[in-house]
Amino acid sequence: MVEKIKVLIDEYRLGYALGKTVSGEIVFLMNGDLIDDKQTNAFVLTKEIDCITAEIEETFNNESLLQNLVDKDKLIKTSFVNTVLQPNIIDIKGKWFFPDPRIKKMVKYIWFDYPELWSDARISLITERVQSSRAVHFGVTFRSAIEKVAKEKFHKARLYCENIKDFSESGVVAEMLVNISTDKNKLINLKVWQGVKEVPEVFYAHGILNGDGNIFFHFDCAVIDYSITDKEILFKKNQKIKRGGYKKLFRIDGNIDKHHIFELANRFFPLDNLVDEYFKVERV
């Protein structure tokens, strides 16, 4: 049986806190920096002669609860969430989870900025904190891509950087592939891939819109792993190829104004620092 202790926090650090037990033993407290109170409950992970390693009660052993709540896509219905304490802390039944770092900005948008979208969404949660940062990327934004493709009435298009040399010293070279089709019900199906050169991970989004392209009925985001060779085939030849790992991160359904989808996509796709005139569209 796991031992539960009370910890008096002395000092906060990034990702943990330092403190003591009631009897004076030194404690290294995982996720202790998330606790506002100077006193908290924790579960012991290991005991050494000079230090106890423990984890706060709110984040300890949460995997089984998470697995009981996820759907077939490994997403959580937002109706299960009690509250969002910060953009990166999700409270479910008093236990704390963390949004996948790739959608943290999207969670902030639908909880804090536009809560009317919250109930229609599903999100990917994890049990361990991830400190992440993105390098500066140069590509073409989701919004400008859709506007370009729609304006030219392309059903399929590849958007890419014409002047790689201008950007290669300042950031990461990247490109986008956009496929648009209309089904028998006159609904628009949109598929978008964004990739960074020499990186196997590809950011992917899929949307279903009305015939005017103003309202999204569905929008989901995922990351896909390809081999470098297969990724080059995808972007250069627009050929459907066998993918590697696939992880869905976000989903929202309803009648959603395109403005909200553009904002969510901007928070998902990494290619958000760009100069649009450096890019052009070609048919594929």
Are residues 141 and 116 part of one domain?
Answer: no
Is a pLDDT exceeding 80 seen at residue 99?
Answer: yes
Are residues 239 and 206 part of one domain?
Answer: yes
Residue 264 to residue 94: CA distance in whole angstroms: 28
Q: What's the confidence (pLDDT) of residue 136?
A: 41
Any domain includes 196: yes
Q: What's the confidence (pLDDT) of residue 250?
A: 97
Angle at 29 between CA 78 and CA 36, to 5 degrees: 60
> What is the average pLDDT value for the chain, to the nearest integer?
81
The SS3 assignment for 87 reads coil
What average pLDDT score do residues 106-112 get? 94
| Burial of 41 from C-beta contacts in 10 A (0-12 / 13-18 / 19+) | middle
Q: What's the confidence (pLDDT) of residue 38?
A: 92
Are residues 74 and 51 part of one domain?
Answer: no
Is a pLDDT exceeding 60 seen at residue 165?
Answer: no
What average pLDDT score do residues 120-137 get? 73
Of 212 and 106, more confident = 106
Is a pLDDT exceeding 70 seen at residue 109?
Answer: yes
Are residues 275 and 149 part of one domain?
Answer: yes
Number of domains in the chain: 3
CA distances from 127 to 52, 92, 100, 159 (A): 22, 12, 9, 36
Q: What's the confidence (pLDDT) of residue 27?
A: 94
For the ranges 19-28, 127-136, 155-164, the one whose mean pLDDT is highest: 19-28
Of 143 and 34, more confident = 34
Lowest mean pLDDT among 33-37, 55-59, 209-213: 209-213
Any domain includes 231: yes
Lowest mean pLDDT among 55-59, 119-123, 177-181, 246-250: 177-181
Q: Residue 28 in contact with residue 56, Cβ under 8 Å?
A: no
Any domain includes 127: no
Q: Residue 39 in contact with residue 9, Cβ under 8 Å?
A: yes
Residue 104 to residue 107: CA distance in whole angstroms: 5
What average pLDDT score do residues 177-190 get? 80
Are residues 99 and 37 part of one domain?
Answer: no
Are residues 272 and 156 part of one domain?
Answer: yes
Are residues 167 and 108 part of one domain?
Answer: no
Which tokens belong to 39? Answer: 């006193």
Per cent of the chain over pLDDT 90 is 48
Are residues 253 and 185 part of one domain?
Answer: yes
Is a pLDDT exceeding 90 seen at residue 196?
Answer: no
Are residues 271 and 154 part of one domain?
Answer: yes
**What is the distance between the terminal CA atoms of the chain, rounded to a whole angstrom?**
61
Q: Give the residue among 131, 118, 113 at the shortest CA–CA distance from 90.
A: 118
What average pLDDT score do residues 105-132 get? 90
Of 242 and 229, more confident = 229
Is a pLDDT exceeding 60 seen at residue 168?
Answer: no
Any domain includes 19: yes
What predicted TM-score, i.e. pTM, was given to this entire model? Answer: 0.79
The SS3 assignment for 47 reads strand
Q: What's the confidence (pLDDT) of residue 160?
A: 56
Any domain includes 131: no
Any domain includes 132: no
Give me the domain span that covers residue 95: 63-120
Any domain includes 151: yes
Domain boundary among 56, 72, 97: 56
Are residues 82 and 158 part of one domain?
Answer: no
Q: What are phi and psi of 217, to 5 degrees?
A: -95, -20
Are residues 211 and 83 part of one domain?
Answer: no
Which alpha helices (H) appear in 121-227, and where do they start and end?
Answer: 142-152, 164-168
Q: Residue 161 in contact with residue 173, Cβ under 8 Å?
A: yes
Any domain includes 147: yes
Residue 70 to residue 125: CA distance in whole angstroms: 9
Are residues 113 and 35 part of one domain?
Answer: no
